[in-house]
Amino acid sequence: MCCHPLRRPPPLLPLSVEQEKQRCLLPTTPAVVLAMAQQMPPASEKFIERLPQYFPTSCKQCEVQTDVFFRCFETHAVMMDDHDVKTAKTSLQHCQPELRAYMDCMEKYLVAKNKPWWKVW
Protein backbone atom coordinates (compact mmCIF):
# COMPACT_ATOMS: atom_id res chain seq x y z
CA MET A 1 0.00 0.00 0.00
CA CYS A 2 1.48 3.30 -1.06
CA CYS A 3 1.41 6.37 1.15
CA HIS A 4 -0.70 9.19 -0.16
CA PRO A 5 1.20 12.51 -0.25
CA LEU A 6 -1.51 14.25 1.75
CA ARG A 7 -1.90 11.49 4.28
CA ARG A 8 -0.10 11.99 7.58
CA PRO A 9 2.15 9.23 8.85
CA PRO A 10 0.88 7.34 11.87
CA PRO A 11 1.89 8.86 15.21
CA LEU A 12 5.05 7.48 16.73
CA LEU A 13 4.52 5.08 19.56
CA PRO A 14 6.31 5.98 22.76
CA LEU A 15 9.45 3.94 23.23
CA SER A 16 10.15 2.12 26.41
CA VAL A 17 13.08 3.37 28.47
CA GLU A 18 15.21 0.42 27.38
CA GLN A 19 14.41 0.99 23.70
CA GLU A 20 15.24 4.67 24.09
CA LYS A 21 18.62 3.80 25.62
CA GLN A 22 19.40 1.44 22.74
CA ARG A 23 18.35 4.05 20.19
CA CYS A 24 20.60 6.72 21.71
CA LEU A 25 23.70 4.57 22.11
CA LEU A 26 26.55 5.49 19.83
CA PRO A 27 29.30 3.12 18.75
CA THR A 28 32.09 3.37 21.29
CA THR A 29 35.56 2.04 21.90
CA PRO A 30 36.30 -0.44 24.71
CA ALA A 31 37.98 2.35 26.70
CA VAL A 32 34.83 4.49 26.54
CA VAL A 33 32.63 1.55 27.54
CA LEU A 34 34.94 0.82 30.48
CA ALA A 35 34.93 4.46 31.57
CA MET A 36 31.12 4.64 31.35
CA ALA A 37 30.77 1.49 33.46
CA GLN A 38 32.93 2.83 36.28
CA GLN A 39 31.40 4.51 39.26
CA MET A 40 32.76 7.71 40.72
CA PRO A 41 34.22 7.40 44.22
CA PRO A 42 32.05 8.75 47.05
CA ALA A 43 32.59 12.40 47.94
CA SER A 44 34.03 11.34 51.30
CA GLU A 45 36.99 9.63 49.58
CA LYS A 46 39.82 11.91 48.56
CA PHE A 47 40.89 11.82 44.92
CA ILE A 48 44.29 10.13 44.50
CA GLU A 49 46.45 12.35 42.28
CA ARG A 50 49.78 10.52 42.44
CA LEU A 51 50.87 6.94 42.09
CA PRO A 52 52.27 5.36 45.26
CA GLN A 53 56.03 5.10 45.78
CA TYR A 54 55.95 1.32 45.32
CA PHE A 55 54.32 1.56 41.86
CA PRO A 56 54.74 -0.60 39.65
CA THR A 57 55.60 -3.25 42.26
CA SER A 58 53.40 -6.31 42.49
CA CYS A 59 53.19 -9.36 44.72
CA LYS A 60 51.51 -12.73 44.45
CA GLN A 61 48.79 -11.84 46.98
CA CYS A 62 47.80 -8.73 45.00
CA GLU A 63 48.03 -10.21 41.52
CA VAL A 64 44.36 -9.69 40.62
CA GLN A 65 44.15 -6.09 41.88
CA THR A 66 47.45 -5.26 40.18
CA ASP A 67 46.35 -6.69 36.83
CA VAL A 68 43.02 -4.86 36.92
CA PHE A 69 44.65 -1.52 37.78
CA PHE A 70 47.47 -1.91 35.25
CA ARG A 71 44.98 -2.77 32.48
CA CYS A 72 42.88 0.29 33.30
CA PHE A 73 45.93 2.55 33.52
CA GLU A 74 47.37 1.26 30.23
CA THR A 75 44.02 1.79 28.51
CA HIS A 76 43.69 5.41 29.62
CA ALA A 77 47.35 6.51 29.77
CA VAL A 78 48.06 6.53 26.05
CA MET A 79 50.20 9.61 25.35
CA MET A 80 49.08 11.81 22.46
CA ASP A 81 52.67 12.91 21.68
CA ASP A 82 56.15 12.86 23.24
CA HIS A 83 55.48 15.97 25.35
CA ASP A 84 52.08 14.93 26.72
CA VAL A 85 52.09 15.11 30.52
CA LYS A 86 48.36 15.48 31.12
CA THR A 87 47.26 12.05 29.92
CA ALA A 88 48.91 10.14 32.77
CA LYS A 89 47.30 12.44 35.34
CA THR A 90 43.85 12.31 33.77
CA SER A 91 44.08 8.53 33.41
CA LEU A 92 44.14 8.29 37.21
CA GLN A 93 40.69 9.91 37.24
CA HIS A 94 39.33 6.97 35.27
CA CYS A 95 41.02 4.31 37.41
CA GLN A 96 40.31 5.49 40.98
CA PRO A 97 38.47 2.33 42.19
CA GLU A 98 41.14 0.07 40.69
CA LEU A 99 43.95 2.22 42.11
CA ARG A 100 42.38 2.13 45.58
CA ALA A 101 42.08 -1.66 45.47
CA TYR A 102 45.71 -1.96 44.31
CA MET A 103 46.96 0.40 47.02
CA ASP A 104 44.95 -1.27 49.80
CA CYS A 105 46.25 -4.71 48.90
CA MET A 106 49.87 -3.59 48.47
CA GLU A 107 49.87 -1.63 51.73
CA LYS A 108 48.54 -4.65 53.66
CA TYR A 109 51.24 -6.77 52.03
CA LEU A 110 54.02 -4.28 52.83
CA VAL A 111 52.90 -3.94 56.47
CA ALA A 112 52.91 -7.73 56.88
CA LYS A 113 56.27 -8.01 55.11
CA ASN A 114 57.92 -5.33 57.26
CA LYS A 115 56.63 -6.74 60.56
CA PRO A 116 59.56 -7.56 62.89
CA TRP A 117 60.30 -11.29 62.91
CA TRP A 118 60.05 -11.58 66.73
CA LYS A 119 56.40 -10.43 66.60
CA VAL A 120 55.32 -13.01 64.02
CA TRP A 121 54.55 -15.87 66.46
Q: Does residue 71 form part of some domain?
A: yes
Number of domains in the chain: 1
CA-closest candidate to residue 36, choices 49, 26, 47: 26
Q: Is residue 95 part of a domain?
A: yes
Q: What's the rounded Cα separation, in Å, for the pair 76 and 31?
A: 7
Q: Are 72 and 80 in contact (CB under 8 A)?
A: no
Q: Is residue 89 assigned to a domain?
A: yes
- Residue 90 within a domain: yes
* Residue 107 within a domain: yes
pLDDT in tens, 55-86: 888 889 999 999 999 999 888 888 778 887 78
User: Is 69 a domain residue?
Assistant: yes
Whether 103 is in a domain gets the answer yes
* Reported pTM: 0.55
Structural domain that includes position 74? 50-112
Note the pLDDT tens digit of each residue in 4-62.
556 665 555 555 555 555 555 544 555 445 555 555 545 456 778 788 888 888 889 99
